[in-house]
Amino acid sequence: PAAEEAGVMLALENHWGLTTRPEAVLRIVRAVNSPWLGVNLDTGNWAGDPYPQIEMLAPYATIVQAKTYFGGGEWYTLELDYRRIAAILRAAGFRGWVSLEMEGKEDPATAVPKSLELLRQAFS
The rounded distance, in Å, linking the Cα atoms of 63 and 41 is: 6
Task: Specify burial of residue 58 (Cβ count, 10 A radius: 0-12, 13-18, 19+).
Answer: buried
Report helix angle 50-57 to 82-91, nearest 10. 30
Phi then psi dihedrals of residue 65, to 5 deg? -100, 110
Tell me what pLDDT residue 124 has.
92
Domain that holds residue 33: 2-123
| Domain count for the chain | 1
Tell me what pLDDT residue 47 has.
84
The rounded distance, in Å, linking the Cα atoms of 46 and 51 is: 9
Which stretches of the chain score pLDDT less than 70?
Answer: none
Element (H, E) at 62: strand 61-68
The rounded distance, in Å, linking the Cα atoms of 29 and 101 is: 23
Q: Which of 24, 73, 81 is nearest to 50 (CA)?
A: 81
pLDDT tens-digit profile of 69-88?
A: 999 987 777 889 999 999 99
Tell me what pLDDT residue 80 has.
95
Tell me what pLDDT residue 75 has.
76
CATH number at residue 44: 3.20.20.150
Tell me what pLDDT residue 73 has.
85
The rounded distance, in Å, linking the Cα atoms of 106 and 79 is: 15
Tell me what pLDDT residue 89 has.
99
For residue 15, the Cα-to-chain-centroid distance in whole angstroms is: 10
